[in-house]
Amino acid sequence: MSALQAYLVFMTALGGLAGIVALYFMLRLYMLLHSHGKYTTARIFLRKGETIGMLILMTVSFIFFAFGRILSFLWLLGCMSEHLMLLLRPVLDVSAAVILSYAITSFYKEVQ
């Protein structure tokens, strides 16, 4: 296995793990919001500073995700090499997944 393949496997595994954590806490957050809507909403607005921080983190993760898609589009247009795209996109994807996982986990713990 080449170094690039090992890098891609590692980044895929790391991104997958972060995605599983994000999905788990997102489902828990959804169930909490669904079962205790008024209480959860009150907690969100009572802890305004933490809520804004989590929303900023979520926005940053969406920006990283969008940059990853832009890199793929630039590769399709022939504006960047495949090797460069294969090096940069996994970093952006994993960064987005880790930041989103952290934001969702923190948001869940805030409203719990």
pLDDT digits (tens, 9 = 90+) for 58-110: 999 999 999 999 999 999 999 999 889 988 999 999 999 999 999 999 988 88
Per-residue pLDDT, averaged over 13-24, amounts to: 90
Where in the chain are the domains?
A: 3-111
Instruction: Give the predicted TM-score (pTM) of the model.
Output: 0.84
pLDDT digits (tens, 9 = 90+) for 22-42: 899 999 989 988 898 888 888
pLDDT value at 1 more than 80? no
pLDDT at 23: 92
Q: What HEC string does the chain produce?
A: CCHHHHHHHHHHHHHHHHHHHHHHHHHHHHHHHHHCHHHHHHHHHHCHHHHHHHHHHHHHHHHHHHHHHHHHHHHHHCCCCHHHHHHHHHHHHHHHHHHHHHHHHHHHHHHC
